[in-house]
A and B are shown apart, each in its own frame.
Chain A
């Protein structure tokens, strides 16, 4: 940033200023794709999966809930590419519809959890004092549960519908948002312009929302994309363990659980839903890495360390 400014100043001094290239969305995207071809490809795959989920009724070859007792547990063939399950439902259609539950839960829970955590983190970092102390203790306690186990206990307590699963996963994401954004807010708080805003008589709320919060957007986005994959895996695990979204709604997790009901599981009932999870998580993770490199190149190794070493009191 400072380098660029020095450059502009130097250019001004000699009287030649190149006009800045226009920042169009397509140009930005092209730049991103050139710098991170892997991440761009992953983003494209992720986008395709999202489109697949949205247009599920149009592209699914058949109704995911329609049973067909003449075609029970058929291996993949020309009529159903991914085979059929024990009651003759088309696995491909179920995988396509499963993307819906998976993505809705992942996006909603990460959005909810990271946002709550981030706002809390801003307040905690900016206000400091006793509020920060108590907040950090609560975060510490929340992080003392393994993710999946906390999510299981919460979803047991509040029920097993989609909203319950979203809330359960969101709660496990709060501590991460809180910790990372708090550490950002702690540095922002000390900057001169924030002090100026305070000196000008801005209330704590005003300074936080107008001056500290905008600086947290980039790390927020990095954090949110980084957690999408985790959220998908937790959702699938909950479904697999029978405490996620209950059948008959197809989810990748409960499809895997269903496959265990036969004595010898059929390979296509195990393989395809899991493959869907893996591809989706891979796409989101790689895209998240690209976002991280673009928004804050300095974060890359330090980011990992912050996540890992953040609990040092």
Chain B
């Protein structure tokens, strides 16, 4: 197990180096000049060439690209991630201030997706093609098609219209005011959770249906076990493995989707910060936030792989 863990960790780390290279290449071939983005075209025209050079120097953008890349890698290991072009805000501060909110949304969404998706999938697989199965499947097909941010906008509109309620617009941390914090995160988490729950339900159903045909399940039935026990104790554990993997993949959707859903709810999380930075072409912030999202995603995938190996020892010996 330890060897497997080390192998996966090394694999994840090498992937991250590739990720950082891609981000760097994509963002540095930017056709726009960062100074134009900062000062606008007119402001840029007014700047003397010396000033331009000096500001570029200050921003660390006039060094050769390999030097810039090396400095970025160094920054990441030390945790100081540079500053926003516009606000002078430190990127690490942005992350520490807004990150917890997005993390709470993500975790709650995953929890909701399991709490909703798994029972629905089990009920569907229990009685395939029954009324409840058809309703569940139709709903999950529907939820796969509804864009999360639109559902979010509708929820915001509905609560505003019927309850005249609007969520707070400022960052409130769990440890400051749990109730206000919950109001911020519950909407996005439900929207994201239901979207992922639809996938989980589909996957759980198809895996359970396949496992139920296996001999050992027939044996369990033949020896007179109750159907509930057959499903819970014999079928479910084996059917869960792919569902866990799927959940890891879905975390990527949650991470990506949360950007749009946060915008829809007006939640001032990390996703909002990323959107603002992209629109303002704030390269340093975008570079680090995209990296952060990728790091989290890779980390989750390594964790999923490890849990998979832990649950199914055959994997390790491959």
What residues of chain A have their CB less than 8 Å away from a CB belonging to chain B? Answer: 137-138, 140-142, 144-150, 152-154, 156-159, 229, 233, 236-237, 240-243, 256, 259-260, 264-265, 267, 270-271, 274, 277-278, 281-282, 285-286, 300-301, 304-305, 307-309, 311-313
A277 touches B153 (CB 8 A): no
Instruction: For B281, list chain A residues within 8 Å (CB).
Output: 156
Binds A, one of B75-83, B94-102, B247-255: B247-255
Instruction: For A241, list chain B residues within 8 Å (CB).
Output: 259-260, 263, 275, 278-279
- Look across to chain B and name the residue whose beta carbon is closest to the beta carbon of A234: B256
Determine how close the nearest CB of chain A comes to the CB of B113; give it in whole angstroms: 14
Pick the contact of B278 from A145, A152, A233 — CB < 8 Å?
A: A152
Residue of A148, A256, A309 ringed by the most chain B CB atoms within 10 A = A148
Pick the contact of A144 from B209, B298, B315 — CB < 8 Å?
A: B298
State whether A301 and B246 are in contact (beta carbons under 8 Å apart), knowing that A142-B22, A147-B253 are contacts in the complex: no
Determine how close the nearest CB of chain A comes to the CB of B13; give it in whole angstroms: 12
Check B297 for interface membership: any CB of A closer than 8 A. Answer: yes
Provide the main secondary structure of the chain B interface: helix
Instruction: For B275, list chain A residues within 8 Å (CB).
Output: 152, 241-243
State whether A149 and B18 are in contact (beta carbons under 8 Å apart), knowing that A282-B141, A285-B141 are contacts in the complex: no
User: Other than the known A278-B146, A304-B206, what 13 A-B pairs have Cβ atoms closer than 8 Å?
Assistant: A145-B293, A149-B293, A237-B147, A241-B278, A243-B275, A243-B278, A260-B153, A278-B145, A281-B145, A308-B245, A308-B249, A312-B305, A313-B11
What residues of chain B have their CB less than 8 Å away from a CB belonging to chain A? Answer: 11, 14-16, 18-19, 22-23, 26-27, 29-31, 141-142, 144-147, 149-150, 153-154, 156-157, 160-161, 202-203, 206-207, 209-210, 242, 245-246, 249, 252-253, 255-257, 259-260, 263-264, 274-275, 278-279, 281, 286, 290, 293-294, 297-298, 301, 305, 308, 315
Provide the main secondary structure of the chain A interface: helix
B278 touches A271 (CB 8 A): no
| 21 A–B contacts from the bound complex (CB under 8 Å) | A140-B18, A141-B15, A141-B18, A144-B301, A146-B255, A146-B294, A149-B290, A233-B147, A237-B257, A240-B263, A242-B279, A243-B279, A256-B150, A267-B157, A274-B154, A278-B142, A281-B145, A281-B146, A282-B145, A305-B207, A312-B308
